[in-house]
């Protein structure tokens, strides 16, 4: 799997944050958190409630329809609840979405889990700016459940190989708190940051 390395004009990004082995895992379905309200066409509102605070996001289904459909289905089904942010690279990204992080005994494999299926890449419409949301992957057409939040403007540093599907609109202070946490040699935070609830508004 590809791994994030800082390069002058090119950076490779991988879903294998704390491990290199593969191990998709399915989450138990729970009651949907999806709400139906009037929002701007093509925009889905999603809020991650974490133990450090809320991160409010806008997802753009007009720019990345497959990605937004996948993320919202997983979120509405409770997939992300209990998942930890498993990777922090200060000045670059924080990463989340691996269901294996729900199980401390699987820590050696954190970063390799997924929903049990993969979906294709989509054309990247936009830039990897601070607060941008993009899918982590293990290569072409291997998107699953893991995604990252850009901590800085990565345009020109990150190749357009990661589905760009939204941005953080409120809660970057929470994102920065996560980015500032102590981490181990594999960039895993030494303090757990857990997604407690996800609210989707379409």
pLDDT classification of 23: cutoffs 50, 70, 90: very low
Query: What is the fold, at CATH topology level, of the domain defined by 34-201?
Result: Cyclophilin (2.40.100)
Please determine, for residue 26, whether its predicted confidence score (pLDDT) is greater than 50. Answer: no
Please determine, for residue 29, whether its predicted confidence score (pLDDT) is greater than 70. Answer: no
Please determine, for residue 11, whether its predicted confidence score (pLDDT) is greater than 60. Answer: no
Give the model confidence (pLDDT) of 36-91 as tens digits. 444 466 999 999 999 999 999 999 999 999 999 999 999 999 999 999 999 999 99
List C-alpha distances in Å: 104 to 20, 72, 74, 86, 194: 17, 26, 22, 11, 13
pLDDT of residue 70: 98
Please determine, for residue 19, whether its predicted confidence score (pLDDT) is greater than 80. Answer: no
List C-alpha distances in Å: 96 to 16, 41, 137: 11, 27, 12
Per-domain residue ranges for the chain? 34-201
Span 98-113, mean pLDDT? 97
CB 113 within 8 A of CB 19: no
Mean predicted lDDT score pLDDT of the chain = 86
CB-CB neighbours of 93 under 10 Å: 28
Span 21-46, mean pLDDT? 50
pLDDT classification of 158: cutoffs 50, 70, 90: very high
Helices (H), the chain: 65-76, 172-179
Q: Do β-strands 34-35 and 195-201 pair in parallel, antiparallel, or remain unpaired?
A: parallel
Token pair in block for residue 110 = 């954190």
List C-alpha distances in Å: 7 to 13, 87, 157, 159: 11, 19, 7, 11
Gap between the terminal Cα atoms of the chain: 34
């Amino acid at each position: 799997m590809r791994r994030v390395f800082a390069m002058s004009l090119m950076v490779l990004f991988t879903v294998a944050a704390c491990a290199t082995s593969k191990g998709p895992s399915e989450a138990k379905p729970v009651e949907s958190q999806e709400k139906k309200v009037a929002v701007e066409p093509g925009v889905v509102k999603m809020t991650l409630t974490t133990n450090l605070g809320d991160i409010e996001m806008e997802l753009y289904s007009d720019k990345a329809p497959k990605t937004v459909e996948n993320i919202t289905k997983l979120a509405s089904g409770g997939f992300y609840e209990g998942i930890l942010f498993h990777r922090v690279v200060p000045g670059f990204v924080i990463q989340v979405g691996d269901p294996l992080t729900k199980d401390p005994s699987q820590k050696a494999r954190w970063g390799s889990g997924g929903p049990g299926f993969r979906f294709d890449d989509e054309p990247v419409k936009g830039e990897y700016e601070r607060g941008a949301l993009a899918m982590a992957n293990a290569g072409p057409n291997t998107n699953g459940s893991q995604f990252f939040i850009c901590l800085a403007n990565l345009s020109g540093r990150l190749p357009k190989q990661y589905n760009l599907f939204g941005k953080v609109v409120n809660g970057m202070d929470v994102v920065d708190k996560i980015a500032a946490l102590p981490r181990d040699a594999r960039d895993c935070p030494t303090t757990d940051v857990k997604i407690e609830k996800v609210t989707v508004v379409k």
